[in-house]
């Protein structure tokens, strides 16, 4: 069950990441395109590494790490919501 939860949280994190990139926020439009491309790829890579770590922890039965990943996902969702709705 923890494996499924970690996977779903990871998919949610990727969806939040995609929504922020597609939002066209002024914060992103001020960054030069080359730097933005590198930042986008590196942040996606970091997100993938975090998901792999959470999945590994779930498979190993280390549930405190799943709770930590869930808290990270909640913070990520809040930040993405703030950016997409232009509250920041």
**Four-point Cα dihedral 28, 80, 7, 44, nearest 10:** 10
Average pLDDT estimate for 2-7: 93
87 by DSSP, 3-state: which? coil
pLDDT at 24: 82
What integer pLDDT is reported at residue 87 of this predicted model?
85
For the stretch 44-61, pLDDT in tens is 999 999 999 999 999 999
pLDDT tens digit sequence for 15-51: 999 999 888 888 888 889 899 899 999 999 999 999 9
């Amino acid at each position: 069950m923890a494996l499924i939860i970690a996977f779903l949280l990871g998919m949610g994190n990727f969806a939040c990441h995609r929504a922020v990139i597609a939002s066209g926020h002024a914060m992103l439009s001020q960054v030069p395109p080359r730097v933005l491309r590198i930042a986008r790829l590196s942040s996606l890579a970091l997100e993938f590494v975090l998901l792999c770590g959470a999945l590994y922890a779930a498979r190993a039965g280390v549930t405190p790490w799943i709770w930590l990943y869930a808290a990270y996902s909640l913070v990520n969702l809040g930040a993405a919501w703030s950016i997409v709705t232009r509250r920041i």
